[in-house]
């Protein structure tokens, strides 16, 4: 296929969406019913084009006629495996969300406008993953967040929506600024804006500009993906219709990890950046995952869970485990989109959960047994995988620890659900499933990705030790139910503080103007977008 | 009155609200029915700024579209004996200035500490404390959603105080010393209440209004607490005075703000404010506008009543042919082929009408959807059951579910084992998915598997007949005594007798009698149980139909009834069915038990149901054509054929926020023999209860109808009324923003705030206009007025409703026409004669 054909194919999705977004602004054409039809058609087109491109690049990669690392569409865009996979994921998610919204918001007076913003956000994210120029990347990075801002203000009569949107706006602009600095430094060093030139960066004699660029990139990613301490807006933006939350948590929030994946070669130059990712992401993962356990509202819990997963993905990136990060990113997108869109059935699901029983709350047999079971299963499967692959390759140590902790948790909750301590067969089956899928997918993906996309990352050994320590910290919350702390006064106090997110968000909101829930000024300036 | 007595009195004024798994319609004015409509809504306006009638623009549109006419306005004013002239009212209605004045008066006139602080310091503490306390309540009452929950049995004041003593949020937002103030309060809620009331210097005569204002500010959670009290009384559990605890929390919050923020000039403001409390009398201007609203509201109701009368009058000529075939059962020489009992729910009216049209030889009967069998049902493998009866009734028996194989052998044991295994498996998986660290280990490999769910959940409807129906109620404890299940014979006979009497089914019974409960199948809908049968406690009525059919088919019961001169023919078989109100399908639940001799009739009945379902769907689809689609259909000249609505999709689509209209539109309640209204198109807006007073010895059935089904219908009607006239306060808000809290406690609209009660916006509004016209219920009953008067005099519950203008009571004569109107105080005036009674305000 010619270059022109490929450009048309890959850009058909985002451009048609952009057209829908434009048309929705024209009151004569943009009636809700027309926009609905157009959006359905364009999102289907988006899926076709994305998978067409994927097919092409796989075929081309095998034929080696095109540079395996990407085909170029003029100066601005290119198609490579990372971009194409992300494009497919985004196209699928977007089509589901668009379809959902066209029924869900029927009868809402401004549905046409809403779908227009949605199309705009979809178009910018799709273009972002295809971008091959710093300027294009930056522009799409910013426009996607502006469309999100517009969506968050969809109910501009709600003070809480305005407050949250304002907070998001401030943090997103900081992230834009940080990215702009990074890109300027990068442009200065490369002399060109083309992303494809990055692999020619000589890492060994790395100039300080590149290290600086890496640092600013990391800061931009951390800000974008709602990492502590700027996670507050992510929890507060439930003031927009459910599909916005789905789009945000499954799509736009991923921009941070996508940025790091895209600019992985630059990050090689910045050890500080990697440290920041490991610490920032790792601690957010711990913090948000624990806070999540105390949240009583579905969307609040899902919000903290998203922050935790983003933290984990960035942690993997910092560690250099790009394939793991990528796998987690894609899996999380599907999982979270489903969780949000089906949030209305929580009460239905609760009816079965309320009959759940737990056994053995104050004894040590089950905890110890589950640790032993998890360890042995882990060792077995690790051994098996390396046997099959014929190499000694396993998981990076922190990832292995995550699997181990997960298995322990699974065994513990499984054993507590039965009266006898003999592990039931379904539990063993589940555990084997988890272990083999985790190891299998991670390893397989690792091979694919490192072969095609990423050069082997290099990280100082000290970083790995720190990462291991962070992961060790993650084991703390697993022990919470074991000691059954809930009834001790100090534990109740701790729970109160944790439920309020250790007040981190309150302290941040005091700094940002117009975000205070007790000041009338924050709601006085409300106007329609 | 002591302050505790005042708290109990105020607590009684807050209507209860049930959690999501057993949502039933509740009259939001339930605690205020001992006052007149005008008086109660004026009080609510004072303490919460609530609206009492539709907004002026809405009324104006109705006026311009001739929804009510001048004669209605005149009649309404005459009835109210008001000084207002119609001309004055019209100019008020047309004047655009009025709205501006009304906007200014939506603020409650009774103030709290937070209000005073907000007004003086330009802050919004009052909305903040609703959010903050709302979050605490969600966490405190959480039924199992969060994995790290507070201990379950701590009383709410203790739990709140403990938390408020350490929570730093308020201090960080600028309320210094809040924690210290709370710490200084006594631990006992009673002491805390009196200390706070003393410290805030609330005069005794203002306490009632002040406390009412506090409760109304957090109406959602106050209603939840009220429901706890209601169920405590209903099930006779120990009363730990949760209402006092709750008011202690509300007061302590005020006290904390007072201690930390109110000093100097602000304290003077507060003192002035409470001074005004004491002498608070109703502002005549506000009261006048209130009366004007109520006058227009009454005019609208007059118009409805006029149209209803016209419809009833026009009936005999128009539907003459149908009348002939539907002679009253007593005058028949032949038994009807079928009888079908439906719930009084307004949605039954449509399918009943079509069923009668399709199967000419069928008699349909309206009765409360629990068929008079109040029991608690424990599904198979569950530890706790739920009451399958109206919330006004206490269940008297407990029935467990069981399953059998083809041969009828008990397979419950095995089924429970399988179910437990599945439960363990699923709940383990659920905990694993959501666990703090294991969620990472879960998402990486398993996240990808959500893609098919995502795609097919969105596009391919999964039509399924609910699995639950495989399970049957176990009627006797034979063979296993533990746990006891079923109803003893004596009670079975009693319940069967009352049910048959209530359904007017004492003689001339058909060979096949269908007892049709109803339920709705919707997907991804937190308010699903609001669409189920309210008479079955907000659950599908399938189990009630099954129990009723089993009891009435029982040979022992029939023998015993024969002694009491109630004759159920040998060949009569009671079928249990479920009417799915979303798709209008009717599922027969005990089809397998029908004797072979009835096969021919059964086939006829099934095909009749299928046809009636199709007709009912067709009729309902008109209501679903959205205005925009109507417009586009007009363009394409296709308006003649209404587009087929895809019902299967609608009931299973996870993005559908308007699967059906529920009871929207309900406006009248008719208790009369069915042949009085047979063939009339009542548009699915009438509750139909079958009642023949000539067969009612001593008017026991009438008493029952007026005190149970009529009150339930009034509750439903007023729930819709309130959700339409004041959706902000009494409605559940926008469904697209709903956020389920505590697993099944209720919803927030958005990320925080008060618990939202009532009906969601999408349940009453189609995006263009309201699907429910806010009119108070018109109860039309065929019975002698002396008998009605006797019941009204005997029961305060119904007297409050009819004497204070919460419902309109009308009496029907033997020709099926409106004969008289209840004019209050046990007096009646003939239909068509203007009212002479002075309406007291």
Q: What is the pLDDT of residues A432-457, one digit of tens each?
A: 888 888 888 877 777 766 665 566 66
| Tally of CB atoms within 10 A around A304 | 24
* 3-state class (DSSP) for residue B766: coil
pLDDT of B488 over the 50 cut: yes
> CA A509 to CA A516: how far, in whole Å?
6
Token pair in block for residue B175: 């309320």
Q: How many residues does chain B have?
A: 841
Whether the CB-CB separation of B117 and B266 falls below 8 Å is answered with yes
A499 neighbors B139 (Cβ within 8 angstroms):
yes
Pair B399, B476: CB distance under 8 Å: no
- Residue B271 has, within 13 A of its CA and on its CB side, a CA count of 6
Q: Please check the confidence at residue A128 and state whether its pLDDT lies above 50.
A: yes
Q: Which residue of A has its CA nearest to B431?
A: A413
Assess whether pLDDT exceeds 60 at residue A359.
yes
Mean residue pLDDT of chain B comes to: 85
- Nearest-CA distance from B20 to chain A in Å? 7
* Rounded (5°) CA angle A498-A504-A507: 135
Distance CA A213, CA B226 (A): 60
Going by their DSSP bridges, the two strands B573-580 and B512-519 should be labelled as parallel
The dihedral formed by the CA atoms of B589, B594, B599 and B604, expressed in degrees to the nearest 10: -40
pLDDT at B157 over 70: yes
CA B635 to chain centre: 40
Tell me: ipTM over 0.85: yes
A503 contacts in chain B (CB < 8 Å): 168-169, 172
Please say whether the beta carbons of A182 and A193 come within 8 A: no
Cα separation, B79 vs A298, in Å, equals 51
Q: How many CB pairs under 8 A join A and B?
A: 349
Beta strand segments in B410-545, E: 472-473, 512-519
By Cβ distance, the residue of A101, A328, A333 closest to B444 is: A328
pLDDT, one tens digit per residue, over B616-668 is 998 888 887 655 555 554 444 443 444 566 777 788 888 889 988 999 999 99
DSSP state of A297: B
Element (H, E) at A445: helix A425-452
Between A157 and A202, the more confident residue is A157
CA A387 to chain centre: 33
On whether the CB atoms of residues B616 and B351 are closer than 8 A, the answer is: yes
Query: Average pLDDT in the B739-753 region?
Result: 91
- Nearest by CB to B145, from A239, A296, A309: name it: A296
Distance from C-alpha of B254 to C-alpha of A3, rounded to nearest angstrom: 70
Beta strands in B291-382, from DSSP E residues, in sequence order = 338-343, 362-367, 375-378
Find the distance separating the first CA and the last CA of chain B, reported in whole Å.
26
Residue B680 φ then ψ, to 5°: -85, 140
Residues of chain B contacting A251 with CB distance shorter than 8 Å: none
Q: Name the least confident of A61-70, B404-413, B682-691, B790-799.
A: A61-70
* Average pLDDT score over residue span B237-252: 88
Q: pLDDT tens digit string along A489-526?
A: 888 888 899 999 999 999 998 888 888 888 875 444 43
The residue-averaged pLDDT of B797-824 equals 91
Average pLDDT over every residue of B113-133? 90
**Alpha-carbon gap, residue B215 to B209, rounded angstroms:** 10
| Yes or no, beta carbons of A296 and B741 under 8 Å apart | yes
Q: Side-chain half-sphere of B789: how many Cα atoms within 13 Å?
A: 12
The pLDDT score that the predictor gives to residue B353 is 93
* Interface mutation target, options B136, B418, B443, chain A, most CBs of A under 10 Å: B443
Instruction: Reply yes or no: is the peptide bond before residue A229 cis, omega within 30 of 0.
Output: yes
CA atoms in the 13 A half-sphere facing the CB of A131: 22
Whole-angstrom Cα distance, residue A258 to residue A213?
A: 16
d(CA A125, CA A140): 7
**A520 → closest Cβ in B122, B147, B743:** B122
Whether the Cβ atoms of residue A56 and residue A70 lie closer than 8 Å to each other: no
DSSP A348-392: HHHHHHTT-----SS-SHHHHHHHHHHHHHHHHHHHHHHHHHTS-
H-type helices in B625-662, by residue range?
A: 627-635, 647-652
pLDDT per residue as tens digits for the range B139-152: 999 888 888 888 77
Phi, psi values for residue A429, rounded to 5°:
-60, -45
pLDDT score recorded for residue B220: 95
Cβ contact, residue pair A93, B128, below 8 Å: no
Distance CA A364, CA A493 (A): 25
Dump strand ranges (E) for B267-324. none
Quick one: angle between helices B70-80 and B86-94, nearest 10?
120
In angstroms, the CA B111 to CA B266 distance is 14
- How long, in residues, is chain A? 529
Say what the pTM is.
0.93
pLDDT exceeds cutoff 90 at A488:
no
Q: How far is B446 from chain A (nearest CA, A)?
A: 7
Mutate to test the interface with A, among B124, B148, B179 (most CBs of A within 10 A): B148
Contacts of B424 in chain A (CB under 8 A): 414, 417-418, 424, 426
Return d(Cα B808, Cα B805) in angstroms, integer: 7
Tokens standing for residue B218 = 């957090």
């Amino acid at each position: 296929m010619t270059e022109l054909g490929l450009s048309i194919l890959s850009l058909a999705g985002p451009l048609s969406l952009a057209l829908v977004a434009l048309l929705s602004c024209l009151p004569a054409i943009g009636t809700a019913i027309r926009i609905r039809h157009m959006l359905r058609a364009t999102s289907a087109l988006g899926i076709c084009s994305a998978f067409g491109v994927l097919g092409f690049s796989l075929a081309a990669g095998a034929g080696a006629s095109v540079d395996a690392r990407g085909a170029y569409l003029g100066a601005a865009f290119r198609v490579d495996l990372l971009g194409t996979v992300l494009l497919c994921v985004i196209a699928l998610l977007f089509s589901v969300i668009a379809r959902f919204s066209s029924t869900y918001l029927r009868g809402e007076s401004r549905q046409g406008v809403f779908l227009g913003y949605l199309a705009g956000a979809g178009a910018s994210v799709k273009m972002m993953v295809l971008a091959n120029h710093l300027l294009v990347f930056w522009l799409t990075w910013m426009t996607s967040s502006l469309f999100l801002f517009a969506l968050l203000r969809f109910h501009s009569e709600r003070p809480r929506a305005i407050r949250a949107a304002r907070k998001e706006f401030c943090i997103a602009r900081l992230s834009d600024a940080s990215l702009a600095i990074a890109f300027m430094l990068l442009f200065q060093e490369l002399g060109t804006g083309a992303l494809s030139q990055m692999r020619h960066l000589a890492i060994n004699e790395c100039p300080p500009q590149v290290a600086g660029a890496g640092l600013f990139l990391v800061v931009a990613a951390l800000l974008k993906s709602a990492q502590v301490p700027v996670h507050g807006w992510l929890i507060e933006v439930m003031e927009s219709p459910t599909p916005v939350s789905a789009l945000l948590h499954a799509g736009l929030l991923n921009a941070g990890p996508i940025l790091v994946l895209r600019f992985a070669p630059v990050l090689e130059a910045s050890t500080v950046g990697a440290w920041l990712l490991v610490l920032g992401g790792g601690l957010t993962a711990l913090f948000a995952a624990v806070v999540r356990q105390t949240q009583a509202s579905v969307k609040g819990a899902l919000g903290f869970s998203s922050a935790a997963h983003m933290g984990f993905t960035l942690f993997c990136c910092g560690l250099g485990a790009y394939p793991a990060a990528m796998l987690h990113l894609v899996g999380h997108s599907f999982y979270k989109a489903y969780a949000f869109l089906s949030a209305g059935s929580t009460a239905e699901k609760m009816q079965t959960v309320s009959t759940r029983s737990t056994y053995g709350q104050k004894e040590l047999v089950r905890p110890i047994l589950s640790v032993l079971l998890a360890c042995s299963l882990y060792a077995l499967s690790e051994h098996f995988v390396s046997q099959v692959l014929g190499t000694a390759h396993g998981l990076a140590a922190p990832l292995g620890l995550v699997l181990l902790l997960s298995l322990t948790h699974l065994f513990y909750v499984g054993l507590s659900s039965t009266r006898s301590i003999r592990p039931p067969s379904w539990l063993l089956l589940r555990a084997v499933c988890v272990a083999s899928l985790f190891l299998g997918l991670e390893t397989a993906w690792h091979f694919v990705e490192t072969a095609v996309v990423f050069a082997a990352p290099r990280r100082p050994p000290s970083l790995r030790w720190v990462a291991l320590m962070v992961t060790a910290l993650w084991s703390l919350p697993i022990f919470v139910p074991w000691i059954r702390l809930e009834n001790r006064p100090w534990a109740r106090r701790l729970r109160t503080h944790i439920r309020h997110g250790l007040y981190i968000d309150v302290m941040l909101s005091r700094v940002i103007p117009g975000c205070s829930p007790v000041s009338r000024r924050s709601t006085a300036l409300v106007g329609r977008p | 009155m002591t302050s505790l007595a005042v708290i109990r009195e105020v607590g009684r004024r807050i209507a209860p609200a049930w959690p999501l798994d057993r949502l039933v319609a509740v009259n939001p004015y339930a605690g205020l029915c001992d006052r007149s409509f005008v008086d109660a809504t004026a009080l609510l306006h004072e303490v919460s700024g609530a609206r009492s009638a539709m907004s002026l623009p809405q009324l104006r549109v109705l006026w311009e579209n001739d929804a009510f006419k001048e004669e209605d306005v005149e009649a309404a004013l005459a009835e109210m004996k008001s000084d207002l002239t119609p001309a004055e009212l019209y100019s008020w209605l047309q004047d655009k200035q009025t709205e501006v004045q009304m906007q200014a008066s939506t603020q409650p006139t009774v103030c709290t500490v937070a209000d005073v602080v907000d007004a003086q310091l330009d802050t919004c503490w009052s909305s903040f404390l609703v959010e903050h306390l709302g979050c605490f309540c969600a966490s405190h009452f959480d039924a199992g959603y969060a994995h790290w929950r507070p201990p379950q049995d701590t009383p709410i004041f203790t739990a709140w105080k403990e938390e408020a003593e350490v929570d730093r949020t308020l201090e960080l937002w600028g309320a210094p010393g809040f924690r210290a103030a709370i710490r200084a309060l006594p631990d006992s809620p009673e002491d805390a209440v009196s200390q706070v009331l003393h410290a805030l210097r609330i005069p005794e005569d203002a306490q009632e209004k002040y406390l009412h204002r506090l409760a109304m500010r957090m109406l959602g959670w106050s209603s939840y607490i009220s429901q706890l009290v209601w169920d405590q009384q209903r099930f006779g559990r120990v009363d730990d005075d949760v209402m006092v605890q709750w008011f202690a929390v509300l007061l302590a919050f005020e006290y904390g703000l007072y201690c930390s923020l109110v000093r100097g000039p602000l304290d003077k403001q507060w003192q002035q404010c409470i001074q005004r409390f004491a002498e608070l009398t109703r502002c005549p201007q506000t009261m006048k506008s209130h009366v004007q609203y109520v006058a227009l509201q009454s005019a609208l109701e007059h118009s409805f009543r006029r149209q209803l009368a016209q419809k009833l009058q026009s009936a005999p000529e128009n539907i003459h042919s149908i009348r002939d075939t539907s002679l009253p059962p007593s005058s028949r020489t032949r038994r009807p082929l079928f009888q079908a009992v439906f719930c009084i729910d307004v949605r039954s009216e449509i399918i009943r009408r079509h069923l009668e049209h399709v199967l000419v030889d069928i008699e349909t009967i309206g009765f409360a959807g629990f068929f008079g069998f109040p029991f608690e049902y424990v599904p198979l493998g569950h530890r706790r059951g739920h009451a399958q009866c109206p919330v006004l009734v206490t269940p008297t028996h407990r029935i467990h579910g069981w399953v059998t194989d083809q041969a009828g052998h008990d397979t419950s044991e095995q089924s429970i084992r399988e179910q437990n295994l599945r439960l363990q498996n699923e709940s383990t998986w659920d905990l694993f998915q959501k666990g703090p660290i294991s969620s990472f280990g879960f998402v990486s490999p398993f996240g990808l598997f959500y893609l098919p769910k995502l795609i097919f959940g969105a596009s391919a409807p999964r039509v399924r007949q609910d699995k639950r129906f495989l399970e049957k109620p176990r009627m006797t404890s034979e063979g296993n005594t533990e746990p006891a299940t079923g109803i003893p014979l004596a009670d079975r006979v009693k319940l069967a007798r009352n049910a048959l009497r209530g359904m007017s089914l004492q003689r001339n019974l058909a060979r096949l009698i269908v007892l049709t409960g109803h339920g709705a199948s919707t997907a991804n809908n937190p308010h699903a149980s609001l669409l189920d049968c309210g008479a079955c406690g907000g659950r599908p009525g399938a189990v009630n139909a099954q129990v009723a059919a089993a009891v009435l088919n029982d040979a022992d019961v029939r023998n015993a009834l024969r002694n009491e001169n109630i004759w159920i023919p040998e060949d009569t078989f009671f079928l249990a069915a479920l009417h799915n109100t979303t798709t209008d399908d009717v599922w027969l639940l005990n089809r397998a038990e029908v004797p072979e001799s009835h096969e021919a009739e059964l086939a006829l009945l099934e095909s009749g149901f299928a046809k009636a379902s199709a007709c009912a769907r067709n009729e309902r689809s008109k209501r679903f054509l959205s205005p925009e689609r109507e417009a586009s259909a007009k363009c394409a000249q296709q308006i003649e054929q209404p587009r087929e609505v895809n019902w299967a999709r609608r009931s299973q689509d996870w993005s559908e926020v308007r699967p059906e209209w529920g009871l929207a539109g309900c406006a009248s309640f008719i208790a009369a023999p069915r042949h009085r209204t047979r063939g009339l198109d009542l548009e699915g807006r009438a509750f139909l209860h079958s009642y023949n007073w000539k067969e009612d010895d001593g008017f026991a059935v009438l008493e029952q109808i007026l005190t149970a089904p009529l009150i339930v219908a009034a509750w439903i009607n007023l729930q819709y009324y309130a959700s339409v006239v004041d959706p902000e306060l009494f409605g559940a808000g926008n469904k697209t923003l709903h956020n389920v809290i505590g697993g099944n406690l209720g919803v927030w609209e958005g990320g925080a705030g008060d618990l939202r009660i009532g009906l969601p916006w999408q349940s009453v509004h189609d995006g263009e206009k309201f699907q429910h016209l806010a009119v108070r219920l018109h109860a039309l009953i065929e019975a002698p007025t002396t008998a009605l008067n006797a019941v009204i005099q005997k029961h305060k519950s119904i007297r409050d409703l009819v004497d204070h203008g919460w419902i309109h009571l009308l009496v029907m004569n033997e020709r099926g026409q409106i004969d008289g109107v209840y004019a209050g105080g046990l007096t009646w005036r003939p239909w068509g004669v203007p009212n002479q009674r002075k309406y007291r305000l």
